[in-house]
Amino acid sequence: MSLLEERRPAAKPTAMPLVAPQIPAYAPWLAAVLAGGIAALAGLLLGWSLVAVVLVAWALLVVGLPAWSAAIEGERRAKDRLVTTIAWSTFALAMIPLASLAWEVVENGHAIISSEFLTYDMRGVLGAGGGIYHALMGTLIITALATAISVPIGVMAAIYLVEYGKGNRLARTITFLVDVMTGIPSIVAGLFAFALFTMIFGPGVRFGIGGAVALSVLMIPIVVRATEEMLKLVPEELREASYALGVPKWRTIVKVVLPTALGGIVTGVTLAIARVAGETAPLLIIVGTTTTLNLNPFDGRMATLPVFIFSSVTTGGKYDAEQTARAWGAALVLVAIVMTLNLLARAVGKVFAPKTGR
């Protein structure tokens, strides 16, 4: 060990250099304000657009803060600050579309929302007036049917994967296929349902249940994945505790594992519903649309909110303005439904979550 001592480079200034010059904690904010100020000033003088001002301010910040840091704190700290600034910038950038989208949907959609809009269909309506009741009901019915198909299959399949298959070949294959299935384009799911029902009922078939089947193709993998993750999170100890009490496996699954995982499963299912409730392409293909309320998913076209939005925007004609207004209104309703489901998913997850007490 004395070797170590000898080869050590000659005396450092202090034995233990712990202190390093630092720029103040408020430096990033100060830099941001300065950059913004300079850019705004230049923008005012040179007549830049707002976008240009923001871009220049950002560029100043990204260059300026690390430069300041490099001068005082050294290169390593400067790099750290550069990356920090860039990382936060990406977040800000990602928020622009969300903010714009939220603003536009509310701005363009709120005016038309009324009780008439929510309770009338489009039968006999040419210009203004009418509503989305038929589309709302269609979306609810088809989504409910898809849920009724997907949840039992998805949950049972997840139970197979976690509780029975555990790593065997079939389970691995299914896990893999489920993963791949998550990536099926929604339009392909629609084509599948179309091809399937065309072969059964002949050409030109359009009905709600076809849409439910197509949506199930999209929904099942989400349900399986969510349930699988939740079941995996149930500690092995709980299963063992139950087995050790002499409880058979299936009762252990039903009475101990599923209740413990219920919160997560409900959350996952709700998120899956939210995801498919906004699907358009498969419904366009296999459900079509209509102006009249149709509550029978086994007979004839049904309107749904997403397809209503699409066709309102793309039909055009004399009443384009009215149709577009209805489309934004329907979009607001659809976004509200989907967001509510998302919030609900989280709330439900909390309500059902096992009471940890402490």
Partner 1 sequence: MATSIDISDLNIYYGDFLAVEGVGMTIRARSVTAFIGPSGCGKSTFLRSLNRMHEVIPGARVEGKVVVDGQSLYDPSVDPVAVRRQIGMVFQRPNPFPTMSIYENVLAGNRLNSKRMKKAEADDIVERSLRGANLWTEVKDRLGKPGMGLSGGQQQRLCIARAIAVEPQVLLMDEPCSALDPISTAAIEDLIHELKSDYTIVIVTHNMQQAARVSDDTGFFNLKAAGEPGHLVEFNATSKVFSNPDDPSTEAYISGRFG
Partner 2 sequence: MSTTTTAPSAPTAVSRRGDSVFAGLATGAGLLIMLALAGVAIFLIIEGIPAISASGEQAYGKDNIVVYVWPLLFGTLLAAVIALLIATPLAVGVALVISHYAPRRVARPIGYLIDLLAAVPSVVYGLWGRAVLAPAILPVYAWLADHLGWLPFFDGPARTGRTILTAAIVLAVMALPIITAICREVFLQTPRIHEEAALALGATRWEMIRMTVFPYARSGVISAVMLGLGRALGETMAVAMVLSASGLVTINLISAENPSTIAANIALNFGNASGTKVNVLIFSGLVLFVVSFAVNFLGRWIAARGQVKA
Partner 3 sequence: AGNAEDGDGGNGASSDLTGSLAAGGASSQEAAQNAWIVGFQESNPDVTVTYDPVGSGGGRENFISGAFPFAGSDAYLTDDEGELTAATERCGGEAPIEIPNYISPIALVFNVDGVDELNLSPETIAGIFAGEITRWNAPEIAEDNPNADLPDAGINAVHRSDESGTTENFTNYLDIVAGDVWTAGAIEVWPQEFGGEGAQGTSGVVSAVKSGTNSIGYADASQAGDLSVANVGVGDEFVGPTADAAAKILDVSPRVEGRGDSSIVFELDYETEEGGVYPIVLTSYLLACPSYTGDEAEAGELSKAYLEYIISDEGQDFGAEEAGSAPLSDELQSEVQSLVEGITVE
Residues 132-171 that bind partner 3 (CB under 8 A): 133-134
CA 178 to chain centre: 19
Size of the site for partner 3 (CB under 8 A): 29
The pairs formed by 181-186 with CB atoms below 8 angstroms and a separation of 24 or more are: 181/217, 181/220, 181/221, 182/221, 182/222, 182/225, 184/217, 184/218, 184/221, 185/281, 186/214, 186/218, 186/279, 186/280, 186/281, 186/282
- Mask of contacts with partner 3, 192-231, x by CB under 8 A? -----------xx---------------------------
Is residue 99 near partner 1 by the rule CB under 8 A? no
Q: Binding partner of residue 121 among partner 3, partner 2, partner 1, none, CB under 5 to 8 Å per kind?
A: partner 3
Q: Take residue 322 and report the two structure tokens written for it.
A: 């009215």
> Could you say which of 28, 66, 109, 130 contacts partner 3 (CB under 8 A)?
130
Size of the chain, expressed as the number of residues it contains: 358
Rounded distance between C-alpha atoms, residue 315 and residue 104, angstroms: 21
Least Cα distance to 214 among 333, 304, 294 occurs for 304
Q: Binding partner of residue 241 among partner 3, partner 2, partner 1, none, CB under 5 to 8 Å per kind?
A: partner 1
> Could you say which of 28, 66, 131, 211 contacts partner 3 (CB under 8 A)?
131
Q: Take residue 289 and report the two structure tokens written for it.
A: 């649309």
Q: Binding partner of residue 119 among partner 1, partner 3, partner 2, none, CB under 5 to 8 Å per kind?
A: partner 3
Q: Binding partner of residue 123 among partner 3, partner 1, partner 2, none, CB under 5 to 8 Å per kind?
A: partner 3
Q: Take residue 292 and report the two structure tokens written for it.
A: 């009249």
Stretch that binds partner 1, among 5-13, 147-155, 280-288, 316-324 (CB under 8 A): 5-13
Is residue 79 near partner 1 by the rule CB under 8 A? no
Q: Which is nearer to partner 2, 71 or 101 (CB)?
A: 101
Least Cα distance to 284 among 312, 310, 314 occurs for 310
For residue 240, the tally of other CB atoms under 10 A from its CB is: 11
Is residue 126 near partner 3 by the rule CB under 8 A? yes
Q: Binding partner of residue 231 among partner 3, partner 1, partner 2, none, CB under 5 to 8 Å per kind?
A: none
> Could you say which of 196, 238, 293, 313 contacts partner 1 (CB under 8 A)?
238
For residue 184, the tally of other CB atoms under 10 A from its CB is: 13
Residues 159-188 that bind partner 1 (CB under 8 A): 166-167
| Full DSSP string of 252-293 | IIIIIIHHHHHHHHHHHHHHHHHHHHT--HHHHHHT---SS-
> Could you say which of 42, 262, 313, 335 contacts partner 1 (CB under 8 A)?
262
Residues 6+ apart with CB under 8 A from 182: 221, 222, 225
Query: How many CA atoms are closer than 13 Å to the CA of 68, on its beta-carbon side?
Result: 20
Q: Which is nearer to partner 3, 81 or 301 (CB)?
A: 301
> Could you say which of 33, 259, 347, 350 contacts partner 1 (CB under 8 A)?
259
Q: Which is nearer to partner 2, 136 or 334 (CB)?
A: 334
* Residues in touch with partner 1 (CB under 8 A): 1-5, 7-8, 14-20, 22, 76, 166-167, 235, 237-248, 251-252, 255-256, 259-260, 262, 354-358
* Residues in touch with partner 3 (CB under 8 A): 116, 119-121, 123-126, 129-131, 133-134, 203-204, 288, 290-293, 300-301, 313-318, 320
